[in-house]
Structure 1
Amino acid sequence: MSSIERKAQRRASERQAFGALIAMFERHMIWVLVVFVIIGFGLRARGLSEVGLAEDEARKVEAVRAYRAGEIAANAEHPMLMKTLIYVSTLIAETLRTRLGAEISDEAAVRFPNVLFGSLTAIPLFLLAAALFDRRIGLIAAALWSTGVNAITYNRIAKEDTLLVFFMLLAFYFYLRAKQASSSETRRKRRCYVLSGVAFGLMLASKYFPHYFGLNMLYHHLVRVRQRAPGEPRGHTPAFFYLITAAIFLLANPAALLPQTWHYLTSYTSEQLLRHHGYLMGDRLYPNQISSTPFGTPPYFYLLFLATKTPLLLLAALVIGLAVIVRRWRVPGPAFLLMMFLLWIVPYSLVGAKWLRYTLSLMPFVYMIAAVGIAWLAVAVKRFFAQNGLKAVAPVVAVSLAGAFVAVPAHAAFVSCPHFGLYTNRLAADRAGYHFPHDEFYDDGLREALLFVCASAPQGATVAHETPSATRYYFERCGRLDLQPRPLSDPDFGPSSAPRPTFYILQRGRTYFENWAEMEQVRASAQKVFEVVIKNKVAAEVYVHQD
Structure 2
Amino acid sequence: MFVPATSAIAIGERQARREGYTIGRALVISLLVLIALGGFMLRAYRLSAEGLSEDELNKLRAVEEYRRWGITSVNGEHPMLMKGILTFSVILAERWNRTQTVQAHPSLKIPTESALRLPGSILGALSAPLIFILTAELFGSGPALIAAALWAFDPTAIGFNRIAKEDTFFLFFFLLANIFWLRGQRAAETQTRDPEPFYWATAAAFGAMLASKYIPHFLAVSAGYYHAFQELPETRWRLGKRRWLLFFIVLGGVFLLCNPAILLPDTWREMRTFAEESRIGHDAYEFMGHLYHNQMSLWLKGVPWTFYYVFIGVKLPILTLLAFIVGLPALFTRRLGDGRLFVIFWLFFWFFPFTLLGGKFTRYFTVALPAVLIVAALGVETGARSIARRVTWLANRSTAVSSGIALVVISASLSAAIRVAPHYRLFTNALGGGMERAGSYFPHDEFYDASVRDVAGWIAVNAPRDVMVLSETPGLMAHYLSLAGRGDVRSRSLSDQGAVAQLKAGDLVIIARGRRYFSNEAISRYLSEEAVPAHTITLGAVPSAYIFVMEETTLQRLKGLGGPIR
Whether the TM-score (by the shorter chain) exceeds 0.5 is: yes
SS of alignment partner, residue 546 of structure 2: strand
**Counterpart AA for 2:411:** A
Report the equivalent of 1:64: 63
Tell me what 1:402 maps to.
Answer: 406
Residue 361 of structure 2 corresponds to which residue in structure 1?
355
State the Cα distance separating 1:349 from its structure 2 match: 1.3
- Residue by residue over 1:2-50, the C-alpha shift from the partner in whole angstroms, topping out at 9 and shown as x without a partner, is xxxxxxxxxxxxxxxxxxx999744431121111100100111112121
5+ unaligned residues in a row in structure 2: which ranges?
1-19, 103-107, 553-566
Say which of 528, 532, 540 aligns to 2:537.
532
Of 307, 332, 339, the match for 1:333: 339
Name the CA distance, whole Å, in 2 between partners of 1:477 and 1:85.
Answer: 24
TM-aligned CA distance change 1:258 to 1:491, over 3 Å: farther
From 496, 503, 523, the counterpart of 1:498: 503
Equivalent residue number for residue 300 of structure 1: 306
2: CA distance between counterparts of 1:63 and 1:282?
A: 33
Look up the match of 1:508. 513
Partner of 1:423: 427
Equivalent position amino acid for 1:43 in 2: L
Letter in 2 for 1:534: L
How far residue 524 of structure 1 moved from its aligned partner, in angstroms, is: 6.3
Give 1:432's aligned residue: 438
Q: Which residue of 1 aligns with 2:44?
A: 45
Aligned partner of 2:162: which letter? R
Aligned match of 2:8: none
1:180 and 1:225 in contact (8 A); partners too: no
2:522 to 517, 539, 542: 517
Q: Would the aligned equivalents of 1:465 and 1:488 in 2 still touch at CA under 8 Å? A: yes
Residue by residue over 1:473-504, the C-alpha shift from the partner in whole angstroms, topping out at 9 and shown as x without a partner, is 2112111111111011124322x432443211
How many residues of Structure 1 are paired with residues of Structure 2 in the alignment? 522
- Shift of the alpha carbon at 1:181? 2.3
Q: 1:471 to 1:389 in 2, by over 3 A?
A: closer
Give the superposition deviation at 1:388. Answer: 2.8
8 Å contact from structure 2 (residues 286, 442) kept in 1: yes
Q: Whole-Å Cα distance in 1 between the matches of residues 66 and 97 of structure 2?
A: 21
**What is the CA–CA distance in structure 2 between the aligned matches of 1:219 and 1:390, rounded to whole Å?**
35
Preserved contact between residue 75 and residue 270 of structure 2 (Cα < 8 Å): no
Task: Say whether 1:178 aligns with 2:184.
Answer: yes
Separation in structure 2 between the aligned mates of residue 418 and residue 396 of structure 1, nearest angstrom:
34
Distance 1:280 1:395, change over 3 A: closer
Q: In angstroms, what is the RMSD of aligned CA positions?
A: 2.4
Counterpart residue number, 1:18: none
- Structure 2 counterpart of 1:13: none
The offset of 1:519, in angstroms, is 2.4
Report how far residue 218 of structure 1 moved. Answer: 2.4
Q: 2:26 and 2:78 mapped to 1: Cα distance?
A: 42
Match of 2:415 in 1: 411
- Summarize deviations over 1:432-490 as a string: whole Å, max 9, x none: 11111111111122211111111112222111111133213211211111111101112
Aligned counterparts, 1:374-393, within 5 A: 374-384=380-390, 387-388=392-393, 391=396
Could you list the per-position Cα deviations for residues 259-311 of structure 1 after superposition, in whole angstroms to 9, with x for gaps in the alignment? 00101111111012323220111221111111221211111111101111111
After superposition, residues 404-483 of structure 1 pair within 5 angstroms as 404-428=408-432, 429=434, 430-483=436-489
Alignment partners' CA distance in 2, 1:325 and 1:65: 47
Match of 1:489, SS? coil
Q: Using a 3 Å threshold, how does the CA distance of structure 1 residues 25 and 486 change in structure 2: closer, same or farther?
A: same
Q: TM-score, normalised by structure 1?
A: 0.90
Change (3 A) 1:330 1:187: closer
Aligned ranges 1:41-440 → 2 under 5 Å: 41-71=40-70, 72-99=72-99, 100-101=101-102, 102-182=108-188, 185=191, 188-223=194-229, 228=234, 234-236=238-240, 237-328=243-334, 331-384=337-390, 387-388=392-393, 391=396, 395-428=399-432, 429=434, 430-440=436-446
Q: Is the 8 A contact 2:475 2:491 kept in 1?
A: no
Distance 2:304 2:257 in 1: 39
AA aligned opposite 1:161: D
Describe the shift of the 1:39–1:70 C-alpha distance in structure 2 as closer, same or farther (beyond 3 A).
same
Cα distance, 1:222 vs structure 2? 2.5
Moved more, 410-419 or 500-509: 500-509
Contact 1:277/1:514 (CA < 8 Å) preserved in 2?
A: yes
Residue 549 of structure 2 corresponds to 544
Amino acid paired to 1:529:
A
Q: Which runs of 5+ in 1 are unaligned?
A: 1-20
2 CA distance for matches of 1:294 and 1:94? 46
Cα pair 1:523 1:543 within 8 Å, conserved: no
Paired residue type of 1:418: P
Tell me the amino acid that sits aligned with residue 42 of structure 1. Answer: M
Q: CA deviation at 1:353?
A: 0.4
Cα distance in structure 1, aligned partners of 2:154 and 2:79: 27
- Provide the secondary structure at the position in 1 that maps to 2:514: helix
Q: Deviation at 1:226? A: 9.0
1:208 is paired with a residue whose SS is: coil
- Separation in 1, partners of 2:374, 2:237: 32
- C-alpha separation between the residues in 2 aligned to 1:213 and 1:365? 15
* Structure 1 Cα separation of the partners of residues 155 and 339 of structure 2: 25
Aligned residues of 1:171 and 1:199 also touching (Cα < 8 A): yes
> 156-165 vs 210-219, which deviates more?
210-219
Structure 1 Cα separation of the partners of residues 75 and 301 of structure 2: 28
Per the TM alignment, residue 536 of structure 1 is displaced from its structure 2 partner at its CA by 4.3
**Residue 8 (structure 1) aligns with:** none
What is the deviation of 1:247?
0.8
Opposite residue 38 of structure 2, the aligned amino acid is I
Rate the CA distance shift 1:49–1:322 in 2: closer, same or farther, 3 A: same
Q: Hey, what's the Cα distance between the residues in 2 that align with 1:271 and 1:74?
A: 17
Structure 2 letter corresponding to 1:91: I
Please give the alpha-carbon distance, in whole angstroms, between the structure 2 residues aligned to 1:325 and 1:245.
Answer: 31
Give how far 1:223 is off: 4.0
In 2, Cα distance between equivalents of 1:179 and 1:488: 56
| Aligned-partner residue type, residue 210 of structure 2 | L
Distance 1:233 1:223 in 2: 8
Provide closer, same or farther for how the CA distance between residues 339 and 278 of structure 1 changes in structure 2, counting only shifts above 3 A: same
What percentage of residue pairs aligned between the two structures are identical? 35
